Structure 1
Amino acid sequence: MTITTTTHLNFRGTARAALQFYHSVFGGTLAVTRYSDVGMPAGAPGAQNVVFGQLESDSGFRVMAYDIPGASEGTTDAAHAGHTRRANGVTLTDQPFFLSARGDTIDEVQQYWAALAEGAAVIEPLAASAWSPGFGMLTDRFGVTWILDVAATRGGR
């Protein structure tokens, strides 16, 4: 049996913008379906919002997203994302999950980091750590907290 997991992100009217941003960072194929595409009257509130969105790249990055029906549109998702910070060497958070992206080299991860960091709150700068040649954490402009790191070689860093 084979199983594939894909993170599904929930937004408040900004799913399309978030998916387009992630597409600019990771590349790949973007599919977006609006509520109006599946039968909601085109003039109804929220009809232009995303009912199904997916980004998939050849490198293996995949994410799905949609806009929560009836959620406060126009609000920034970062305001609803919870809070994550580092203190005394530990991560303190009230979020139920982070999105992790791991690359094989620091150069690859640095590219993704630089793009995701635009408008983001950096929690832990990208740098070598005890468990990885490169590790960093940030909350992007859409309120999604990311962990980016470089895969450690077998037997240590």
Structure 2
Amino acid sequence: MAITTTTHLNFRGDARAALDFYHSVFGGQTVAVTYKDTGDVRNPDEADWVMWGQVTADNGFRVMAYDVPSALPWNPGENAVFVSVRGDDAEEITGLWQKLSAGATVVQPLAPSAWAPLYGMLKDAFGVVWVMDVAAPYNG
């Protein structure tokens, strides 16, 4: 038996824009199903919001997103979730960092660290905190 874990991000009206942005960074396939698509429109202003969406790329990147309807409580919180992207190729991680940092607030610039050849943290334009690094062997 095999399982996968996928980061699921919650938004309030920005899920489609976030999915499109992450697709532009990581590539792959985007799927976005709206409340209108499912016939579950409870607020006409939210009919085109994303009820379920995801970006899936051949390199293993996967993220899900949805727009929390205004009838439900939603608080994005502070540092409730970090999305970690780890790879073994510094050039690939640097390229992804450059794309993802568009409109972002850099918390820790992408640079060598004591525990990884490259490590960085940023909060993207949608308020999602991303940690990116190049994996290094753990020597306990």
Q: What TM-score comes out, normalization by structure 2 length?
A: 0.91
| Shift >3 Å, 4+ stretches | 40-43, 153-156
The Cα shift of 1:153 comes to: 3.6
The Cα shift of 1:105 comes to: 1.4
The superposition leaves residues 1-30 of structure 1 with CA deviations (integer Å, 9 ceiling, x where unpaired) of 211110100001000000000000000011
Unaligned 5+ runs, structure 2: none
Q: Which amino acid aligns with 2:95?
A: Q
The Cα shift of 1:130 comes to: 0.7
What corresponds to 1:33 in structure 2?
33
The Cα shift of 1:42 comes to: 9.7
Q: What TM-score comes out, normalization by structure 1 length?
A: 0.81
Q: Which residue of the other structure, out of 103, 118, 129, is the alignment partner of 2:113?
A: 129
What corresponds to 2:97 in structure 1?
113
What corresponds to 1:90 in structure 2?
none
Judged with a 3 Å threshold, the aligned counterparts in structure 2 of structure 1 residues 71 and 123 are, in CA distance, closer, same or farther, namely: farther
Count the aligned residue pairs: 138
SS of the aligned residue for 2:108 comes to: strand
What corresponds to 1:47 in structure 2?
47
What corresponds to 1:66 in structure 2?
66
SS of the aligned residue for 1:111 comes to: helix
SS of the aligned residue for 1:45 comes to: helix
Q: Which residue of the other structure, out of 126, 131, 136, is the alignment partner of 1:147?
A: 131
Q: Which amino acid aligns with 1:8?
A: H
